[in-house]
Structure 1
Amino acid sequence: SSPSLDRSALIYMLLLAVQFGLQPILTRRFTPPDITRSTVVLIQELVKGLLALSMMQITGSTKSALNGWSVRTWISVAAVPAVLYAIQNMAALVAYQNLDALTFNVLNQTKTLSAALCCYFVMGRKQSLTQILALLLLLLSALIMEGIVGNDPGEDNFASATAWDAKHYTHGVAPILLASFISGLAGALSQSNLQSTAGGGRNPYLFSLELCVASILVLTASLAISTDGQHVLREGFWQGWTLPTFIPIVVNSVGGILVGLVTKYAGSVRKGFALIFGILVSGLIQ
């Protein structure tokens, strides 16, 4: 069964909803379009790792969290989610830069459906009838948002669809749908590791730190064979960066820590439902 909600879980969910609503607005405003995306994700993971390490120290949980830790358990618990999250972050950054905040967050909610499906296949955790209906309504809202369903039958649907620049779909819709699916899968794997005895009932700050280190290693290795790596060698690591670029990075890093806390104490499906309030935040600000 799903973990029960206490006051701490509700606070974490509320903070995550606010971060979720602000993130696409901040990223689109302060991340230059010509920046090398891998450098953004790398610094983001570094900041997130430092935050997780700081929180372990502040909460005094470092010693207990590291009890029984080994490189083998780190690889088995963090390696696959880290690769998935690295791909998700790259895809989401592309979408951030090409979609308005409200559209991004509505489409991003398909991650809740993905999380529910993946929790079932990974953990055997079923959803209630009410939750299933809510998930279907969530999917319907995303389809309506993109005009896939709900159009006036008298309209020329083809003309309506082609009114959008193709880039809206290839650099906006497709990347966020990919990121949402990966998020659901990685979230289910993370929830399994955070809550199960097989994952050691892992400390959420330690797990966030483990993911960050693994993601940094994966991204650094990918630079050796990617066009981003060639771009860094040619233009420099900080090409396109400005001081305000760090604003969405820090906010996103805080969100990453909150994701770990919410996943442990509320579950990845409830995390998705909590993020629906982020859409309200985006709508109010936008």
Structure 2
Amino acid sequence: MHYSRNSPIASEHRYLASTAVLLVELVKLLTSLTLAAHDVRKSHPNASFFEIVVLLRRSIFAPDSWKLVVPAALYTFQNSLVYVAISNLDAVTFQVTYQIKIITTVLFSILLLGRNVSSRQWMSLILLTLGVAMVQIPGSLSSEDWKGKLTSLIQGEGRPEMKPTSNALKGVMAVIAASLTSGLTCVYFEKLVKGSLGSVSLWTRNVQLSFFSLFPAFFVGVLWQDGAAISRHGFFVGYNAIVWLTIALQALGGLVVAVCIAYADNVAKNFAASLSIVVSYAASAIVFGTPLMLHSTGGATLVLIAMYLFNTRLYPRMPLLPTTKEKHHIGPTSGLSVVHFMPLK
């Protein structure tokens, strides 16, 4: 994605992000629709093509399909908040602050899913948030840079290099709201998918989500945000093989995230996403020759430590040992003495 947005292009205009977002949702919709049809085919092997289409339509537009309108609307609202945040914050402040979504996801998992998180896991989540934020800080920042950032946040004023109308406090409030919305949306989708896996397939839910996401992607992004530019330069202006590859990877990533949420959870997804940031950091050094910074390397180390702390036990699991009250009885046929072992608690 970085290469597609910054590499030299043959045309005068770079591709519009809103068109790419719409195409990603279309690819996800078609792929999920194909997989959902395959599930229907497996459950009804003797059904004709027309019968499969009817069954698929009934499952997609079931009475509870409206529930997917909520995450689709929340995703759109989240993107709008991110746009407000980026418009009023510099990139570093935005990237660091937006990692709050790791914590908000866990909080909503506790509230909506009743998940239990130990104190050791909370410590690992804090380390994960800090580590991801450190990795995403570009270059080296002096103490004066951080002093200026804190001053702008406290006074509610934008940095001098940004446009005069920028407001740092407004940007921070927007990014915090976006983090809350992100956590709520992910956990709501997880609850909806896991609560209906027995009756509705994962791919049917993905079809519903992608279908309802098309409307805000088209009306808000393509028409309202970039409608004038599209009318002047065309829908596919700036498209090349790299752009299409980026769209395919984004669609595949969305499908993999859905599988992760359905068969694991959002916490595992956040750890996987954090690990991907570390991999991207290392890959950028290899592919683009980006120098390795001390704080970013330290942040990558914190991410790996956090993953270890969250997914391992503090003490090894105790072996099965006999209790103080051993139960003996004679086997009915062998004549051997049998001892029942129970785990110590």
- Per the normalisation by structure 2, the TM-score is 0.58
- Structure (1 or 2) with the greater helix fraction: 1
Letter of the 2:128 counterpart: L
The aligned counterpart of 2:185 is 186
CA contact (8 A) 1:116 1:184 kept: yes
Q: Secondary structure at the match of 2:235?
A: coil
Matched position secondary structure for 1:240: coil
Per-residue CA distance 1:55-103 (angstroms, 9 max, x = gap): 334xx31355947553432112x111112234556777997xx969xx9
Corresponding position of 2:52: none
Cα offset for 1:191? 0.4
User: 1:118/1:164 Cα in 2 relative to 1: closer, same or farther (>3 Å)?
Assistant: farther
Cα distance change of structure 1 residues 31 and 130 upon mapping to structure 2, 3 Å threshold: farther
Deviations 1:108-153 (A, max 9, x none): 6543222112222333333222221112122333555577xxx88x
Q: Could you tell me how far apart the structure 1 residues matched to 2:248 and 2:160 are?
A: 32
Q: In structure 1, give the amino acid aligned to 2:230.
A: V
Matched, 1:158 2:139: no
Corresponding position of 2:72 = 82
Contact 2:35 2:203 in 1 (8 A): yes
Structure-2 residue corresponding to 1:116: 106
Q: How does 1:66-145 map to 2 (within 5 A)?
A: 66=56, 69-76=60-67, 78-88=68-78, 109-142=99-132, 144=134
Q: 1:50 to 1:225 in 2, by over 3 A?
A: closer
Instruction: Name the CA distance, whole Å, in 1 between partners of 2:206 and 2:129.
Output: 29
Alpha-carbon distance change, 92 to 285 in structure 1, aligned in 2, over 3 angstroms? farther
Partner of 1:18: none
Which SS does the other structure have where 2:116 is aligned? coil
Instruction: For structure 2, list consecutive stretches of 5 or more residues without a partner in the other structure.
Output: 44-54, 153-158, 285-345
The corresponding residue for 1:55 is: 35
The residue type equivalent to 1:85 in the other structure is Y
8 A contact 1:88–1:179 mirrored in 2: yes
Alignment of 1:245 onto 2:250: no
1:267 maps to 265
C-alpha distance in 2, partners of 1:203/1:164?
A: 52
Structure number with greater Rg is 2
User: 1:201-253 CA distances to partner (integer Å, 9 max, x unpaired)?
Assistant: 64222222211111112222335862322332343222333332111110000
Q: Is the 8 A contact 1:82 1:211 kept in 2?
A: yes
Percent of pairs with identical residues: 25
Give unpaired runs (5+ residues) of structure 1: 1-23
The answer on whether the counterparts of 2:128 and 2:274 sit within 8 Å (CA) in structure 1 is no
Q: CA RMSD in A?
A: 4.0
Q: 1:124 to 1:56 in 2, by over 3 A?
A: same
Tell me how far apart the structure 1 counterparts of residues 131 and 218 of structure 2 sit (CA, whole Å): 38
Instruction: Give yes or no for contact 1:122–1:188 (8 Å, CA) kept in 2.
Output: yes
Write the distance in 2 (CA, Å) between the matches of 1:26 and 1:207: 32
CA distance in 2, matches of 1:34, 1:260: 30
Partners in 2 of 1:226 and 1:47 — Cα distance? 22
- Are the counterparts in 2 of residues 26 and 247 from structure 1 also a CA contact under 8 Å? no
User: Which is further off, 106-115 or 208-217?
Assistant: 106-115
